[in-house]
Structure 1
Amino acid sequence: MARICEVCGKSKAFGNKVTFSNKKSSRSWAPNIRRVKAVVNGSTKRINVCTRCLRSGYVQRAI
């Protein structure tokens, strides 16, 4: 499963892990993606959505 939100396009972000001694090593942050049944154009589909979009109401869940 691709770790990308199909609503907002949020995907993995990259940056540095910084230690107390100020050493830097690369790390990544993955979004919290859920595979949900949602209503898309009047029909029910399974889509990958981040929890921020679910919480904000950008997706109408299908039951």
Structure 2
Amino acid sequence: MARRCMLSGKGPMSGNNVSHAKNRTKRKFLPNLRTVRISLEDGTTRKIKISAKELRTLKKNS
């Protein structure tokens, strides 16, 4: 499964590791994903991968 938030679509980003000598090598920034259970309207529960920022937003709005 992809490292992608199911609500916001946030995924991996690329960038550089920068050493003290300013040597640059490629690296990947991964999103902070959490697996949570949510209950749907029909009463069933489902596990989704959601970023920590979206989880905070959900808790704030509900």
More helix by share: 2
Q: Percent identity of the aligned residues?
A: 31
How many residue pairs are counted as aligned between the two chains?
A: 58
After superposing on structure 2, the runs of 4+ consecutive aligned residues of structure 1 that deviate more than 6 Å are: none
CA distance in 2, matches of 1:39, 1:12: 27
CA distance in 1, matches of 2:39, 2:55: 13
CA distance in 2, matches of 1:2, 1:32: 13
- RMSD of aligned residue pairs (Cα, Å): 1.9
**So what's the TM-score if we normalise by structure 2?**
0.78
**So what's the TM-score if we normalise by structure 1?**
0.77
Equivalent position of 1:2 in the other structure? 2
Structure 2 residue runs of 5 or longer lacking an equivalent are none
Equivalent position of 1:50 in the other structure? 51
